[in-house]
Structure 1
């Protein structure tokens, strides 16, 4: 019952926020052209961030986990939304990837992307510290907090890297979230998945775009749900996998890999609006 309540709250808040943002007087400034040249709205980002955060916080089993969910989801969504808006400016677009943002910093420019990276990292650290650790030594607990922060921020970044086609980030989030929706802290994951499910049809139909706000919040909350139930070894393994995928993204196009792998291409295109040849 708690699982269904969290799922429903996440979905309801996401839909309500989407309608509110779409009807706001500043809504026209959120219009963007997607990969296919169709006009979509970035309203999906704050809608997903709000729904997933509220749903996850409602489903969390303790006050510390609730605070961790609010921190991870709200901060990641907020700095992501800032990058969605400011990062569209010509002087910001020149900096690509982590190396590009660091290069701009060496030139004395602080990019919106760098602020996003710092914000997501800080949110991950605070959220991981709120989750805590059962290890007896102070050093061990500190290591667990750092590992958890890496997992939370790394998952946020991974979902952001995948958000290049309609529905892709939400589908990836559903795959990552499925095993977390069973057992301890399942209700926290349910709120996140509920918000995602509510927005998936509009995402697939190319009405909305998640942007950094939605993808970062979704990934951060899933990373938090994993951290809240994982020990040191599992956190190390997850962080290693996330670091490998992030490093690979600098050399290999995930979109090309998906297109060249039949079963991945099938899942990726499932439910998506067909493109004109």
Structure 2
């Protein structure tokens, strides 16, 4: 009888195992945090677009479940660093930020005026953690240059920012994570992509019900993990295409409301609304 290796070597199997672990761990972490809220519920409660009180505890639960699953299924150090690092800088903005400056333009504009916002610190932190994650993913690979790594770092940071831009309605960011993570499953990225998908699936029920949201902590972690999965499976061309798309979408978000575009497009509107309580 042939021996069974651990972690599984076949990408689809490894992705499924990683997804199952991440989903279970993220859901368990969320339940535990809800029972024993660090700092008290008021520290994590926010008001959503509909005026309902939601908790941001979904964010740390996502990061913990996804990062642990990647580590247990042999996904490498890079996605763990990307997930944990981005979650930490997201938490800085979630718990210590203010609303005086919004968006990339707002935070960079404040920085130009000499005002250092938590959002600006988060942008810098996402850039650094993204570059470190890309460097770790490319370590020991002779077919990756310094330029490839820099582009990869920008993809990781850009992914973290993009998912945060989608976390405006129940389930939206998690649905995007599931779709993009499924597309990223490949040799080298199966554990990362599977963990991104699984953690999202494990937390989508309270998100769709309007009880919880990812916040910057979870959205940045999910986007960075997806970006790392893409970096793990892509060469220079794929990374450049991804970066161009991320830059385009980020710049567009400064001028156009993603919510307005989604709600005015029948197919997107149907997918976006599916499952909401």
Same fold (TM over 0.5): yes
Aligned residues: 262
Residue aligning to 2:107? 101
2: CA distance between counterparts of 1:60 and 1:226? 16
* 8 Å contact from structure 1 (residues 124, 149) kept in 2: yes
* 8 Å contact from structure 1 (residues 40, 208) kept in 2: yes
2: CA distance between counterparts of 1:119 and 1:225? 19
1: CA distance between counterparts of 2:166 and 2:138? 29
Residue aligning to 1:263? 267
State the TM-score, normalizing by the size of structure 2: 0.90
Structure 2 residue aligned with 1:51, among 65, 68, 81?
Answer: 65
User: Higher mean Cα deviation, 12-21 or 102-111?
Assistant: 102-111
Residue aligning to 1:223? 227
Residue aligning to 2:249? 245
1:102 offset after TM fit, Å?
Answer: 2.2
1: CA distance between counterparts of 2:102 and 2:191? 37
Residue aligning to 1:79? 89
1:109 offset after TM fit, Å?
Answer: 2.4
Q: Deviations over 1:59-96 (max 9, x none)?
A: 335xxxx2111210001011101101111xxxx31111
Residue aligning to 2:211? 207
1: CA distance between counterparts of 2:96 and 2:188? 39
Residue aligning to 2:15? 3
2: CA distance between counterparts of 1:3 and 1:114? 34
* 8 Å contact from structure 1 (residues 58, 191) kept in 2: no
Give matches, 1:185-196, under 5 Å.
Answer: 185-196=189-200
Structure 1 residue aligned with 2:156, among 152, 155, 160?
Answer: 152
CA RMSD of aligned residues (A): 1.6
Give matches, 1:110-189, under 5 Å.
Answer: 110-132=116-138, 134-135=141-142, 141-189=145-193
1:189 offset after TM fit, Å?
Answer: 1.3
User: Higher mean Cα deviation, 6-15 or 66-75?
Assistant: 6-15
1:108 offset after TM fit, Å?
Answer: 3.0
1:9 offset after TM fit, Å?
Answer: 1.7
2: CA distance between counterparts of 1:50 and 1:243? 28
2: CA distance between counterparts of 1:183 and 1:68? 15
Q: 1:5 to 1:27 in 2, by over 3 A?
A: farther
Structure 1: which 5+ residue stretches go unaligned?
none
Q: Deviations over 1:94-150 (max 9, x none)?
A: 1112222123223332111111111111110000001117455xxx61100011001
Q: 1:222 to 1:141 in 2, by over 3 A?
A: same
* 8 Å contact from structure 2 (residues 192, 226) kept in 1: no
* 8 Å contact from structure 2 (residues 178, 196) kept in 1: no
* 8 Å contact from structure 1 (residues 7, 191) kept in 2: yes
